[in-house]
Amino acid sequence: MGAASRADSLEPHGGGSSGHETNGRVSTVPTGKVKWFDGEKGFGFLATDEGDEVFVHASALPAGVEALKPGSRVEFGVADGKRGPQALSIRLLDAPASVVKAARKPADDMAVIVEDLIKLLDGVSNSLRRGRYPDDKHARQIAAVLRAVAEDLDA
């Protein structure tokens, strides 16, 4: 095998792997997307760019990362595990756009909700000025509304 033939055989495969040169040899690192990951159970699956499924355990996640979001692009090493290919040392390439932000309420709708909230809190403020807290049931409802609006704004 000539030098040109050997160099051609070491080129990274198209569409799915990025090449890295090590001691004059090019190695391929698989890339793909997170299919799903259960942070509580500590595992999930990746879909390689070639269409294969690869098991991923929480121990393969980068430092400081506790879970993977579905759709995140990743680069990873692969080893043969007991039940098939298993990802090793995952590196996040990019995270998907937030699904929550994409599903946000329109700003016009939020403006109406905030205005209603202001009216509600104004009534609570007037009661407090007169030395009366809202009763327990009413207080829980107000707190629930405040939390819901805060979640919508924070999304």
Q: What is d(CA 14, CA 17) in angstroms, rounded to the nearest whole number?
A: 7
For residue range 116-131, list pLDDT tens digits in order.
999 999 999 999 999 9
Instruction: Assess whether 87 and 112 both reside in one domain.
Output: no
- In sign, the C-alpha dihedral spanning 112, 118, 119, 124 is positive
* pLDDT value of residue 95: 63
* pLDDT value of residue 100: 55
* pLDDT value of residue 65: 82
Could you list the pLDDT tens digit for every one of the 155 residues in the chain? 444 443 333 333 334 444 444 444 444 788 999 999 998 898 999 999 898 899 999 999 888 888 888 888 999 998 988 888 999 889 888 765 555 565 678 888 889 999 999 999 999 999 999 999 999 999 999 998 999 888 888 76
Instruction: Assess whether 76 and 107 both reside in one domain.
Output: no
Host domain of residue 133: 99-154
Neighbours of 69 (CB within 10 A): 14
Instruction: Assess whether 43 and 85 both reside in one domain.
Output: yes
Phi-psi region of 127 (alpha: psi -120 to 50; beta: other; left: phi over 0): alpha
Instruction: Assess whether 70 and 136 both reside in one domain.
Output: no
Instruction: Assess whether 122 and 88 both reside in one domain.
Output: no
Closest among 97, 80, 78, 96 to 88, alpha carbons compared: 78
Confidence (pTM): 0.46
Instruction: Assess whether 54 and 9 both reside in one domain.
Output: yes
**Rounded to an integer, what is the distance from CA 17 to the centroid of its chain?**
22
* pLDDT value of residue 153: 81
